[in-house]
Structures are given as structure tokens and as C-alpha cells.
Chain A
């Protein structure tokens, strides 16, 4: 029983890292109706920026983390500014945005490979590696930190989306960008800020993933897991993405704990297909006909 609780907490912790990335997918999808495949690579680049910053002398660790998050936000913003905006203005179908994102993803992955090499790198941990003992239940300090930080970041995100004036603009553009534009919402600015927000969350996720495991050029593939999570939750829904991510994290840990870690991905992918068969738009998605 205690082991199960331990597994569940670890699962929620890894799920919360997925949730940070998945909410970025959901935000971008809700505005632009495309899956930003380069998002996982933004996460990877954020982790590398943080890693570079830690190698500078006398740089406090919190500052390098902030730099990593900021770097990811800037990269995400540049993606939008240089690539996506131009494609939108070309009047091309949404599919082209996805292909461009795919291209960017390949580019960044191999760029990182060229610059930093394919060797695994380790971010220093904030706390010494250890576990906290709650009445016989052992939980890693890094897990706790991930869980805490992600929860704070996600709550702030939800507050921004649901309470602030900017959030109102985001929801208006998500509902109908044309109408929102007519009513005086600066669509391009909203989209740019959302990309920065999503990038910052991805950067945070990358740093935590790097602390928990390692950083390497293909770690952006964690974005794939997050993408699955956001599909499970329903594309374009931030609460759905968070729920899907936590669910996915839980399933992964429980499967690798009790069945086999080799079958972990198999089972999560089968679950994904099953969920899509029962609810074709995900758990929280709204069934909308795809725009022609």
C-alpha cells in the first residue's frame, strides 16, 4: 500500500512536468488550431540555456534557471515571429503551420546535437539527492520540488487565463480571432505573448526534467508525451491538458512499477487510442468540425 502511494506521488510529479508542456500545446492549439511540434524542442533549448548559464562563474543557480526559462520564452517567441506569423499571413492552411513546426523541431534537435554534442549532461540539483520520509512513504526531494513548482506555475497560468484582462483577450481570440480582432483585440500581440508564456512553461519543464534525469538533444521527445497528454485531455483545453498529463504520468509510473517498464509506452499509447475511440475529441475537448 505504501509503495502504491509512493508510486502515485511520483506519477503525479512526472505528470506535473508533462502538464507544463501540455498546457503550452493546449494554449497554442486553442488560438491557432495547430499542434506546435517544436514545443518539445523549446523545452530542450531552455534546459540547455540553463545548463550553459550554470557553467558561468559565480552565477547563482536561481538566476541560471530564470535565464533558462527566459531563453525558452524568447525562442518560442521567435518561432512565432519568424515562421508561424508569416505562414498565417500567407493565408496557407493550418496544416502548413504544423509542417513548419515539424521542420523547426528537426532543426533545433540537430542544432543542439551540433553545438553541444549528443552526450548526456546533468543539471546540478537544488537539494542534495535524498528522500523525505512521511510515515514510511519515501518521496524524492526533486520529485517534491517538481510537483511544487509546477503546481504554482500552473495555478498562476490558470489565474492569468481566467481572471486577467489579458486572459479575456486570449479566450476571445480562441473563440473567434476575427471577431476579437474587430472588437479591438490586438491578435498578433496576444498570440506573441501566449507563445512566450508557453515557452516559459516549457523552459521550466525542461529545467526540472534536466534536474530529475539528464539533458540531451533528443529530450524534446518528452514533448511527445505532453502532446499525447493534451490530446487525451482534448486539444485546446488547458485544464484538460493538465488532467491528461497527470493521468498519463500516473499510468506510466504504475505500469512501470507493477507490470514492466518496457511495456510502459505501449500501454500509454494503447490507452490513447482507446480514449480517442470512445471520445474522439479527448476527455475535455469540444467536438468542433475542423475548419475547412
Chain B
């Protein structure tokens, strides 16, 4: 059905989508920026890879352990740093991500250092990746629409008012942080079992900013926006392969233009809805008035 190149693009797209969905829950719904999610991805990737290679664990168990390891680390980090405000939180995450990278470079006898960790079995096929992504989306969707998600939205809108209404702000923020880290770890584990060879530099600061940029492009506070954003960011460059040199340049310009002209991202707060799309096509005037009322 798909040739191996297309399957590869599909898998990379799915893996990134899982990480971006986690990021979207964190950034889109609590406005906390994390530039350390590549660090969680690498924790997930290495934990899963080590479980598979050294302990011959089944694929599913390895992935679960990878995700759990990322979640556990993020719980500890979150307990320490989640109270920091805005930019201070951001820089502590960034510092954490870089720490993980340097540490994995340094621990040569466990992770293979800068030479990378190889011989990971190839387990992430296209089907597995797609199933994982659908599962991740359903879980994230239900999380956002549960009372936890409502609490997160309340925190985003006004932290003080949310706290006054009895929402434990620190607890919910930490929850979303751990959620995003588990997703990142999950994505990392899948990534390792697709590439079969991982190095710490795969998960550098550039990867973290790519995740943030994708989330912003898709729209902060919209899961479907994140899905669309990932598809655009991952698949467009494959189509314009010959212009790969300009790829990141266009991303940068796109982000600036997006913020200037359409600050809510592709979807903004709203989720994609088939009903609204049909309504807009059949009766363009009506959907506009609905927007104005909002």
C-alpha cells in the first residue's frame, strides 16, 4: 500500500504527533512553555531501547516503561519547578533538556555516549504508529474534556480566579506537565524502535523548539490544530525535499507571520468540526455571525 519511504514519513509524523499532543495539553491548556520535552523524549527512547535490548522485554512493555520513566522524572522536576513563573519555568525546563543530553553523552557504558545506542529491534511499523497516535489522541481528547481539562482551561484563562474557585493550581499544572512528559516518552520509545539507532543529539534543543513551534502553529488550545500543525510541519518538507535548506527558514517566517496575522494559530481555541465546516461552505455568512457573537 505504502512504499517504505512513505511509511517512514508516516511513522515520523505519527511519532511527532504524539509528542506534540502532549505539548498541546501542557502549553495550550495551561500556558506553560516547556523547552525540555525533547529531554523527556530521549529519556523515553533510551529507557525503552535499553529494556528491549538488554532485558529482551516485549515491545509494549518497553514502551510503557519508557513513558513511565519520562513521567516519573517529570514528576520530580515538576515538584521542584512548577511553582516558578513564566520564563523561569521555561528556562528550567530548557536547562533540564540540555542536562539530559549532556548526561547521556557522558554515561558511555550505559547509553553508548555520543556514539549512540544501536541494535534496537525494529518494532514501530506504520500500523503500530497509527494505532498509537489514534490512542494518544483519544486519551488526550478525553483528558481535556474531563473535569481535569476544564480545570486546566480555567487556569489558562485566569489563574487567580481558578485558585479562588478551589482549583489546586499547582497540582493541575503538575498533572499536565507529567501528562506531556509521558507523551514525549511514549513518542521517544516509538522513535527509538523505528530508527533502531539513537544518539543524544537527536533530542537537542532544536527538537524541543520544533515541538513548541508545531504546537503554536497548530493553535494553542486545540488538539485538532496540533494534529494539523504536525502534518504540515512534517509532511510539507518531504514534498519540497529539494528545498530542504530553506525548510527551517520557512518555519521561522511562518511562526512570525502567524503570530502577527493570526495570533490564535490555525485553529485557535476551537476544535475542528465537520458540522461547522459544512455550515461554512453552505452558508458563509452564518458562521461569521456566530464568530462575532463569541
Distance between Cα atoms of A95 and B263 in the complex (Å): 11
Asked if A227 is an interface residue, CB under 8 A from chain B, the answer is yes
Q: Are A107 and B252 in contact (CB under 8 A)?
A: yes
Asked if A52 is an interface residue, CB under 8 A from chain B, the answer is no
Q: From B85, B86, B92, B216, give the contact of A273 (CB < 8 A).
A: B92
Distance between Cα atoms of A108 and B249 in the complex (Å): 8
Distance between Cα atoms of A103 and B158 in the complex (Å): 26
Q: Are B95 and A272 in contact (CB under 8 A)?
A: yes
Residue of A nearest to B259 (CB): A100
Q: Are A103 and B95 in contact (CB under 8 A)?
A: no
Asked if A265 is an interface residue, CB under 8 A from chain B, the answer is yes
| Known contacts A106-B252, A266-B103, A100 near B260 by CB under 8 Å | yes
| Known contacts A95-B31, A110-B246, A110-B248, A102 near B88 by CB under 8 Å | no
Q: Are B87 and A235 in contact (CB under 8 A)?
A: yes
A262 to chain B, nearest CB (A): 6
Which of B31, B98, B252 has the most A CB atoms < 10 Å from its CB?
B252
The stretch of A67-75, A160-168, A275-283 that contacts the partner chain: A275-283
Q: Please give the number of chain B residues whose Cβ is less than 8 angstroms from any Cβ of chain A in the complex.
A: 45
0/1 interface trace, chain B 258-270, chain A, CB 8 Å (1 if under): 1110010000000
Distance between Cα atoms of A273 and B153 in the complex (Å): 28
0/1 interface trace, chain A 236-256, chain B, CB 8 Å (1 if under): 000000000000000000000
The range of chain A's interface size is 35 or more
0/1 interface trace, chain B 105-141, chain A, CB 8 Å (1 if under): 1100000000000000000000000000000000000
What are the residues of chain A within 8 A of B213 when measuring CB–CB? 102-103, 106
Q: Are B102 and A263 in contact (CB under 8 A)?
A: yes
Q: From B91, B159, B260, give the contact of A292 (CB < 8 A).
A: B159
| Known contacts A109-B248, A114-B246, A231 near B105 by CB under 8 Å | no
A-B complex: 3 closest residue pairs judged by Cβ atoms: A103-B255, A107-B252, A106-B252
A-B CB contact pairs (8 Å), 18 listed: A95-B31, A100-B260, A102-B209, A102-B255, A103-B254, A103-B255, A106-B249, A107-B252, A107-B256, A108-B252, A114-B245, A114-B246, A263-B106, A266-B106, A269-B98, A276-B88, A290-B85, A292-B158
